[in-house]
Structure 1
Amino acid sequence: MSTFNVPTREEVSANNQAIFDNLENALGFVPNLYATYAHSENALTNYLALSNAKTSLNAKQKEVVNLAVSQVNNCTYCLAAHTAIGKMNGFTEEQILELRNGEASFDEKLDALARLAKNITENRGATDATVVENFLSQGWTKENLVDTIVLVGDKTISNYLHKTTNVAIDFPEAQALETTEV
């Protein structure tokens, strides 16, 4: 059970209250994990600036990275949130499960992206050269590589925040991955 409360609008600073209002208007609610950032005067602003920064990856490609990273980091909150967002971006449930495994048999270019995101996360940035070579050979650029690394960092921050605070998940729970024991 979490020892961290999800702060209400009344419990956060005026700056964070304004962000809560913007999130409420844009999303219809303030996600619990975003509210948790508001325990800090600056963290929510800083995180949203990073998360919403310009990137060479489109929304669908960002979800490929978010799903692979959140699975490696075993973040139940982010898996739930990004499963929902992945569906909004056109992925099927089966495709989302594949992406969480760091692969995409349905699209070679997205497969290279998913494999890269998974490998970066599993190896804490010591990415296998063959994974990088495959990524670039699928038409991705060095700019895409750098932006993917930044996105891995972005998602890892949220993964760590949830795993540390264990605030309630306010998205539909993500389906468990079936694992095979060797």
Structure 2
Amino acid sequence: MLQFTVPTKADVSANNQAIFDNLNKGLGFVPNLYATLAYSNTALEAYLQFQSAPTSFSKKEKEAINLVVSQVNGCQYCQAAHTALGKMNGFNDEQILELRKGIASWDSKTDALVRLAKEVTEKKGNLSGDALQSFFDAGYTKAHLIDLVLLIADKIVMNYVHNITQVPIDFPEAPVL
């Protein structure tokens, strides 16, 4: 199998070098998966803009979505990264494991959100209807639905990049379900 190494600052374009500097300032390091996007002269910047775009979901809701989508897509890197980010956004270990399974027994609104995110991801948007109705019944809107699809697409990009490249995980590993 083709081996992918993580590009260093010296390996990437001047534009990506500046982005690496900004990531180092903001995060204290350049996550390996972000660095891998820098194989392209444009992908890292485009992805970071897409990822940081405004959404109708809270940061905590975004992490719930990220956790379940990364689990469905079998991305160990993103499971690890979003386990760490989920904890930073107030989820405990038990809740994170539930979210990865596509449930949230402690909160009916979060449960409706992750159940729909799981079904959209698994069925590639071809829904049965029950999860969608529960999502709307929980108080989410059509605007939330569109934002959910965009957040799923955001996570699929990174899930696929890692699943293809298998670059080293630079976050504490997530427990296996």
> What TM-score does the superposition give when structure 2 sets the normalisation length?
0.98
Unaligned runs of 5+ in 2: none
Question: What's 1:165 paired with?
Answer: 165
Secondary structure class of the residue paired with 2:132: helix
Q: Write the distance in 1 (CA, Å) between the matches of 2:127 and 2:36.
A: 31
* Structure 2 residue aligned with 1:180: none
SS in 1 for 2:118: helix
Aligned to 2:63: 63
Question: CA–CA distance in 1 between the matches of 2:2 and 2:127?
Answer: 34
Q: Does 1:37 align with 2:9?
A: no
1:129 corresponds in structure 2 to 129
CA distance in 2, matches of 1:126, 1:39: 33
Partners of 1:128 and 1:32 lie apart in 2 by 37
The aligned length equals: 177
TM-score (norm 1): 0.96
Identity across matched positions, percent: 58
The RMSD of aligned alpha carbons is 0.9
- Contact kept, 8 Å, 1:2 with 1:166, in 2: the verdict is no
1:128 CA drift (Å): 2.1
CA deviation profile, 1:42-75 (whole Å, cap 9, x unmatched): 1001111111001001100000100000000010
Q: CA deviation at 1:5?
A: 0.8
**Distance apart, 1:116 and its partner CA:** 0.6
Q: 1:87-166 to 2 correspondence within 5 Å?
A: 87-166=87-166
The one-letter code sitting in structure 2 at the alignment partner of 1:64 is A
Query: Where does structure 1 lack aligned partners over 5 or more consecutive residues?
Result: 178-182
For 2:133 and 2:83, how far apart are their aligned partners in 1?
28
